[in-house]
Amino acid sequence: MSCQDWPEPIVRVQSLSESGSTDIPDRYVKPPAERPVLPNSRINGDDEKINIPIINLAGLDGGDENARREILGQISAACREWGFFQVVNHGVRHELMDDARENWRQFFHSPMEVKQAYGNSPKTYEGYGSRLGVEKGAILDWSDYYFLHYRPSSLKDFNKWPATPASCREVIDEYCKELVRLSGRLMKVLSINLGISEDRLQNAFGGENIGARLRVNFYPKWPRADLTLGLSAHSGPGGLTLLLPDHQVTGFQVRKGDNWITVKPAKHAFIVNIGDQIQVSYLLLPNFFSFYF
């Protein structure tokens, strides 16, 4: 990677955090309207009791048709009302989830020269990064990240995957394989709820060659949490996002109406975000869901 690929020298946020400074560089200070909504600044204390739906997938593939319809109905309602939900008993081994989280934690705490070997460029963003976009002077998020391709296989390049710690590539590969499988199950549910053939959405996103990418966000500590954001407000432009939260890092929020709600992750749950391309279908075709209630 050439440093000239970026419009300005890249500064690792983790390095800023570990410098001991109590000031945040202006590059990371959000405009007042975009600053975070902190829990103690909420007007309505009842927000603390609100959470996105938690859906148990245990009966989804069993022989109990009533249990299956109930799960379909819960996912339908969550998609229409939130665009987010959590899934438990999803079939991904808890040990694998913990291993994936721990491997990435070790990578981000590796010496800087190890991480810099995987430094990315704005051409593909694949690798270790600290900013998105090439606008000179842009306000940046307070986070570092790692981005890689898993599917289609033509984009999968193990050389761009971390070799530190030693188990990282093996764990990432198994983890991504399991999440592609879980995504396929959820795509079938979403298709059925939309009243189309169960393989319609999967095929629309590429079928066997469906795209799958992994992004790992690392949020270093910061001295002024009221001025900056680890990740700016955004929506998912694709089809589906599965988020594995880190219970050591709180503050993930979703917007419902005019309010930002802090998600309370269930243990060993994935947070599912319906991307823009699928969410539009749910908003346009609401009558398709009444069958499952």
In this structure, the strands spanning 54-56 and 240-243 are: unpaired
Provide the b/e sequence for 7-16 (b: ≥16 CB within 10 Å). Answer: eeebebbbeb
Q: pLDDT digit string (tens) for 108-141?
A: 999 999 999 999 999 989 999 999 888 888 999 9
Q: pLDDT digit string (tens) for 7-29?
A: 889 999 999 999 988 888 999 99
Residue extents of the structural domains in the chain: 46-282
Helix (H, G, I), strand (E, B) or coil at 272: strand
Q: Output the pTM of the full model.
A: 0.89
Closest CA to 288 of 76, 83, 78: 76
Assign domain 46-282 to its CATH superfamily: B-lactam Antibiotic, Isopenicillin N Synthase; Chain (2.60.120.330)
